[in-house]
Structure 1
């Protein structure tokens, strides 16, 4: 083995160990072990890099997202330098290696198996391989290095553009509004509200379009609805109608965790019709608790779906 080849081999080994360290132990992974195996087979985004404007004030996740692509570019250069091979063989071997490392990450609880990381890592290797293939055509070493550098820059931009386009095409979008007209109350009885009587709040006439929920003459009432781990935007109008006893409150909880609480009294300057909306990711059970003379109306959601669903 020539000195140049030995040097390349040593650099490749050292760089590989560096990458493995970051995959398994960086960012505090060695200090906090996950409670369960995590396998993510549907990526949050495809090949998307952080927006250039976001990189002016990058967050840790922006750096990680960029690094998941850029850090693997050298493999697309070092591997073919050591072992000349065609692109198809290179990318198959590379992806198999990354899939193995991602699986070990999940099984050792030092990370997760994320198909999004596999795609980003592989795109970086592809950029390196293509840039190397272009660079070796130069007649001088300086020209080769310059060609590889320019190619990497242009391919990264192209990769970012393709990723943005694919993400927009496969991203989840909110569907049509679905009114929640059937809830299970605290007695375990399914309550279906069909009487939509107008009322006033601070003199403003409210005409519900879909549903109305209140305490049904009790001190308080709790309504639950099962979403079965859906992703959705939730909407709820609420307020206390004009009457003698202007007291009440309303709270919203998801999977046992309270995420909203509002309390009104007679002289509260904010006692006007209000709207609560929230994005829920993989929510199972949603609970609304109404006390006093509070009312909730036009309660519903818009489920996030892919275009093929």
Structure 2
């Protein structure tokens, strides 16, 4: 622990830093005018620790979240130097304090109660505590303080890199690619062509490689598959073949893709010569329990039917499946 004038100076610096931190939490960044909506705001679902690499598609948030993490590292370093405390009491008191701050932010409508903020703030303080525990001797000397700063920087960088790498895995990692024709249907019927014969659409040659939706399927139909939160993405291709379109053909084909009863993607194809260009699609399915595909054809010619090919589902990786289960358990408990 710090002693004498060094201790007094540390208390003064710690007090000023705490006031500055509270200022930014409640007043800084023009909060009073940036939050025009009324009512209490809160977010109680844990979405993971929001630390990510700058190039991961979170350019507007990564710096804010990094600051939210770094700002609380000094608390973990300085408090044990001023007050003798073991890790568990330190952690519990810090959790209570930061939870209180989040509640005040919500009640004053100068912010929101966010469980993810509590986690990232606590992580920062925990890293700071771990950094000061790495330096066991001479912590009150100038050399010891430099060691504290160095260990804090190294541990902070290591944890940030580790968490960001984990988030990259959860955001962009993927499991096995599974052909749709290999999965059982929960509702409806679906026929697949036994041979992957090629065809043309808008004079473009198409060569299916994985599967091919049969033209013998009803022109308008609906079928569903059970996902159970195990899949990350649904992708494939859609077209009306040239050989079922005559010079006098007109109308359109429409496909609606729904997940858990909510429409999430739709496609429309013109049944007109030269205007039946093939379409490709990729639909995110994170955490979804059921996938439903509805096909509608309104062409007068009974031969006209849209066809899919190379329909696949990409499995979520182990981490994504775990997060989907956590979210499902939370929402089911709320219901």
Query: Quick check: TM above 0.5?
Result: yes
CA contact (8 A) 1:24 1:30 kept: no
- Name which of 262, 269, 273 aligns with 1:266: 273
TM-score (norm 1): 0.69
Q: Give the Cα–Cα distance (whole angstroms) in 1 for the partners of residues 74 and 49 of structure 2.
A: 25
Gaps of 5+ in 2: 300-304, 323-335
- 2:330 alignment partner in structure 1: none
Instruction: Give 1:1-309 correspondences, 5 Å limit.
Output: 4=9, 7-8=12-13, 10-11=15-16, 13-18=18-23, 20-21=25-26, 26=31, 30-32=35-37, 38-41=43-46, 43=48, 48-51=51-54, 54=55, 59-99=59-99, 101=101, 110-111=111-112, 113-115=114-116, 117-132=117-132, 134=135, 137=138, 140-141=141-142, 143-164=143-164, 166-167=166-167, 173-179=174-180, 182=185, 184=187, 190-193=188-191, 196=194, 198-202=196-200, 204=205, 206=207, 210=211, 212=213, 216=217, 218=219, 220-225=220-225, 227=227, 231-245=231-245, 248-254=252-258, 255-257=261-263, 259-264=265-270, 265-268=272-275, 271=277, 274-283=279-288, 285-291=291-297, 292=299, 293-306=305-318
Shift of 1:66: 0.7
Deviates more, 1:91-100 or 1:129-138: 129-138
**Number of residue pairs aligned between Structure 1 and Structure 2:** 294
Deviates more, 1:4-13 or 1:104-113: 104-113
Shift of 1:156: 1.9
Q: Give the Cα–Cα distance (whole angstroms) in 2 for the partners of residues 27 and 302 of structure 1.
A: 44
Judging by fraction of residues, say which structure has more strand. Answer: 1
Shift of 1:15: 3.7
Tell me: CA distance 1:139–1:122, structure 2 relative to 1, closer, same or farther (3 Å): closer
CA contact (8 A) 1:221 1:290 kept: yes
Tell me: CA distance 1:289–1:24, structure 2 relative to 1, closer, same or farther (3 Å): farther
Tell me: CA distance 1:266–1:89, structure 2 relative to 1, closer, same or farther (3 Å): same
Gaps of 5+ in 1: 185-189
